[in-house]
Structure 1
Amino acid sequence: METGVYIPIISDYGFKATFGNEADSLFLRTALQALIKSDTPIREVHFDKNSFEALTIDSRSGIFDLACTDENGSQFIFEMQLGLAPHFVQRMKFYALHKFNTIVERGEFDYANLPKIYAIAILAKNILPMTHFHTVANLRSEEGKIIDTQMTFITVELAKFNKQVAEIESDLDKLVYTMKTLHTTEPTQYPAFWNEEWLKRAIDELDTRKMTPEERAYFARVTAANAEAVKAEKQKIQEAEMSIKTETVAKLLKRGKLTIEEIAEDSGVSVDFVLEIQRGLFKK
């Protein structure tokens, strides 16, 4: 991800420096209040262990991008996803239900006083059929009436947010606008609300001009590690795509109903690629 004066909040480094800032939780607390649409300020947050072990030998373990608990015992799970993730809802259900099971297993509960669990997903791409960028989901009846609010799923799809500065009013709008545009904004184009204390503190953490030598070195290490991870992921995708194309071409060759040129055109590959697969089949 290209970086100007400000490091993107949605980058690995940016997320940890703002949402995951244990030394100063004002931004996180205000953001949480906006995301869950609560009128009650969150005054304290305790950062929880963000990894969990499998409950059984056959089940999966995992790691959250961030997990925390407020002063009322409400539990928050944060996940950030920059790539396309059509099945992300299933991942959030897995995480939220694991958190629920952990609470139940401890035995420190009764069904009348279970703590609220908020599973929050911030996505760069779109995955839901709704047009609004912020979705709050609870267990509902077929008439749309809420049955349970103990577990809430909140999804923010950044690609759907298109408000201009003049249209922004709520803290939720300010948060999402900042997440989407900060790293592409010049200091001379500051919207007035970026001077609000909760946002100002977060933006200061992402201002490359204010970084210490140690912070610069850490940012460079994180950026390099992320670049390697992206490179490896792209390689996996390319290998998977090549495997699919190879399988498709091989099937068409075995059917024997199309010419080499037609197979190449239909499969989106070169004639030489088809001929190479054909030679491999003959050898077998």
Structure 2
Amino acid sequence: METGIYIPIISDYGFKATFGNEADSLFLRTALQALIKSDTPIREVHFDKNVFEALTIDSRSGIFDLACTDENGSQFIVEMQLGLAPHFVQRMKFYALHKFNTVVERGEFDYANLPKIYAIAILAKNILPTTQFHTVANLRSEEGEIIDSQMTFITVELAKFNKQVAEIETDLEKLVYTMKTLHTTEPTQYPAFWNEEWLKRAIDELDTRKMTPEERAYFARVTAANAEAVKAEKQRIQEAVEKKEVETVKNLLNLGILTVSQIAQTVGVSENFVRQLSGDR
């Protein structure tokens, strides 16, 4: 991911420096409050590294995970996904149910006083058939009545957010706008709300001009590692596509119905590619 003065929040380094900043959790606490649309400030968070390994990148899918607990015992799982993820909801359920089982076991199977669990997914692409960029989901009846609010699924799809600075009012909108545009915004175009303390602190963490030599070295290592992971993943995808194309062409050749030209057009490959496989038969 290319970056200018500011490192993207939606990069693994940016996510760790902002959402995962254990030394200064103001941004995380304010962001969580905005994401769950709560009027009650979150005053403390404890990073939970026992249930999930915090702040890791899965090079196969570009996911960064964070788990934490607030002062009231509410559990938060935050995940970020950069690439396409049509089945990401299933992953959210897996994490949330794993957390649910963990808190139940810790309470010796006491279902009466379970803490709230918030599974939060921030995605660069769209996955839901909804129009809003922010979706809150609970277990509901056919009439839309809430059956259970102990577990809440929250999805933010950055691609659906298109508000301009003049239209932005809530902390949620400020958060999503910042995540989507910070790394592409020129210093002369900063919106006034970036001076709010919770955002200012986070933005300072992403300012490459203020990085120490050690931070620059770490950022360079992370960037290089991610580039290699992306390259390897693209290679795996390409190999899988080519394998599928070969299988499809061979199956069509075996049918003996279509011409070389028709097979090439159907599969989306060259006629020479089809002829080569035809000669292998």
TM range (shorter): over 0.9
SS state at 1:46 partner: strand
Number of residue equivalences? 272
Residue 52 of structure 1: how far off its partner (Å): 4.5
SS at match of 1:120: strand
- What is residue 106 of structure 1 aligned with on the other side? 106
Match status 1:197 vs 2:197: yes
Q: Distance in 1 between matches of 2:243 and 2:199?
A: 47
- C-alpha distance after superposition, 1:98-157 (max 9, x if no partner): 000111122356322100000000000000011000000000001000010000000000
The aligned counterpart of 1:126 is 126
Which secondary structure state, in structure 2, belongs to the residue aligned with residue 137 of structure 1? strand
| 2:275 corresponds to 1:254 | no
**Structure 1: distance between partners of 2:197 and 2:136:** 26
Match of 1:58 in 2: none
Counterpart for residue 56 of structure 1: none
Q: TM-score, normalised by structure 2?
A: 0.94
User: Cα gap change, 1:109/1:42 in structure 2, threshold over 3 Å: closer, same or farther?
Assistant: farther
- Counterpart of 1:43 in structure 2: which amino acid? R
Q: Which residue is equivalent to 2:211?
A: 211
Alignment match, 1:222: 222
Farther off after superposition, 167-176 or 63-72: 63-72
User: Which residues of structure 2 form unaligned runs of 5+?
Assistant: 54-62
The CA deviation at 1:280 is 2.0
Q: Residue 60 of structure 1 corresponds to which residue in structure 2?
A: none
- Note if contact 2:104-2:111 (Cα within 8 Å) is conserved in structure 1: no
Partners of 1:46 and 1:139 in 2: CA distance: 27
| Alpha carbons 1:50, 1:66 under 8 Å: kept | no
Match of 1:21 in 2: 21
Which string of whole-angstrom CA distances, capped at 9 and with x for unpartnered residues, describes residues 33-74 of structure 1? 000000000000000016559xxxxxxxxx961000000000
* Cα distance in 1 for residues equivalent to 2:166 and 2:107: 50
Amino acid at match of 1:7: I
The verdict on how the C-alpha distance between 1:64 and 1:234 changes in structure 2, with shifts beyond 3 A counting, is: closer
Which residue of structure 1 lines up, in the alignment, with residue 90 of structure 2? 90
Query: Hey, which bits of structure 1, 4+ residues long, moved more than 6 A?
Result: none
CA contact 1:50–1:67 (8 Å) conserved in 2? no
Within a 5 Å distance, the mapping from 1:105-184 to structure 2 comes to 105-108=105-108, 110-184=110-184
| 1:71 and 2:74 aligned | no
What RMSD over aligned residues (CA atoms) do the two structures have, in Å? 1.3
Amino acid at match of 2:35: L
Contact 2:46 2:68 (C-alpha < 8 Å) held by counterparts: yes
Residue 76 of structure 2 aligns to a residue in which SS? strand
Return the TM-score normalized by structure 1.
Answer: 0.93
Once the two structures are TM-superposed, the CA of residue 279 in structure 1 deviates from its matched residue by 2.0
- CA distance, structure 1, for counterparts of residue 205 and residue 44 of structure 2: 20
Distance 2:236 2:156 in 1: 27
SS in 2 for 1:176: helix
C-alpha separation in 2, matches of 1:28 and 1:52: 17
Distance across 2 between alignment mates of 1:73 and 1:199:
25
Q: Alpha carbons of 1:172 and 1:197: their partners in 2 closer, same or farther (altered >3 Å)?
A: same
> CA 1:95/1:178 → structure 2, altered by over 3 Å: closer, same or farther?
same
The 1:153/1:45 distance shift into structure 2, 3 A limit, reads: same
**Using the alignment, how far apart are the partners of 1:210 and 1:279 within structure 2?**
62
Q: Among the aligned pairs, what percent are the same residue? A: 86
Are residues 1:233 and 2:233 paired?
Answer: yes
Distance in structure 2 (CA, Å) of the matches to 1:111 and 1:141: 21
Structure 1's 16 and 170: CA in aligned 2 closer, same or farther, altered over 3 A? same
Q: CA deviation digits over 1:181-208, x for unaligned, max 9?
A: 0000011111000000000000000000
Corresponding residue for 1:278?
278
Classify 1:51/1:250 alpha carbon distance in 2 versus 1 (closer, same or farther; 3 Å).
Answer: farther
